[in-house]
Structure 1
């Protein structure tokens, strides 16, 4: 067995804002209106409970548990096995109107894991942390003089590691596509998880069928239905969006032997095309979304309990 090597990675920034102001931003990490984590461009931080000691979760494939938490000042996360190490945020005051924000990662790696860190994980980690510090600065001061820029390598890694669509059933809430035909000869559904800040209006997702501008034949709630009728077959595509996921569904009704022959060929490539198109627009809309800090600034103020 090879020896472990401890990787230490530090990101820090001076913020021209009081430490208590910045501390309130850290306290909202993983909340519905998290102002600092750079989602949806990167997988969001999710825990099984509000931020606090014992909360278990992580982001993407990285899993960890909150092992120490000092509200407004410090949060430490210990990695779950088989990973070993921790990462933490610390906020230190520098007088009344400035503070120092630091993130430290200490991780034990060995053999091939070291190569993965050097070639890919480190670069994505560095970008996520710098974008997070951009959000801290933007939320606390209103501006970021030098926001992080993605290198061509990061853009490639981001594209290669983006979520994949998974197969599922027609959504229960997609009533238009479920009622489209009295008889259905083919159906499928591909879905992807929604990330914070992604649009919930299904009209925003119509670009999933870019290059095949089918007319809209129905709208209802979180669903828009597109389709076309022809002599050999009828086709409907549904885009259904809710708070959990976006689903691209297809139903086909075949009329005759020409339709059966046509669909026998098309259905071999259709699943690949459907999940590829959904993944492409999922990523495009995530990259076009406002930053976490911008969304938090525009979010409604929390209700104040009576008598407080």
Structure 2
């Protein structure tokens, strides 16, 4: 097959019921854009029939391929694997649940042909989310803009088109704790947003619980800012000033009014408060030390168990981070 002009990367995890509906909408659109395209599904350790559904589509359309992990490595790693295997001049990243409308790809390609190296979908409506979730999302973008190395366009996610130059830069970033939204912004290049409305999920349920979203947000801030570390220096300084002021206050009070009987409850509360501050600061430091430990082990980002269709033609020398176990 000739080198594709357009590649579509789709991370999947237990999305078997969505594969056929997605391909029914996606493939005709790709054929309208160009005759030389490829679709790379990245199966992130699915436990349902996702891989079999992809295999059925690949038999009928060889330009549809898949990379299957040996276990679940997470969506961020699946995106990195897709970038390793995609060969197109432009690469589109999208979800399999049809919340990212495939029809938007035509608009992405138009903007790309106008000279933009990065074209991202920017959701305009969050009415499907709870008020609490919308509030935390807005807070995250505000904090990231205030303390992060770069600013993130609010409403932008993984649904985007990236030029080959950008893809090659992203492939050189081998960090384990990945925050792709930040990496997209960090590499720079001329970018533009395209507003879109998130569609309802056709089948299955979201894999993102509130706990996972909170952890993901913390990973993003920790990956692009050292403020969580530095803030404890400021807190320690303020507590030191407060303790000196308190000592001066009690010294003057003792000289003027004599000694009072020490209060046991206030002593216990003080000990618990400062112990909590110390443990929190140690926890933040531990998070960063843990990231250093994960990086220095130099393990590969993922392990490939199987390749299907067009993805099977990718040489393992192109993907040094992956350990292929079997090819289809």
TM-score range, shorter chain: under 0.3
Q: TM-score, normalised by structure 2?
A: 0.24
Structure having greater relative contact order (Cα 8 Å, sep ≥ 6): 2
Q: TM-score, normalised by structure 1?
A: 0.25
Which has more helix, going by share of residues? Answer: 2
Which has more strand, going by share of residues? Answer: 1
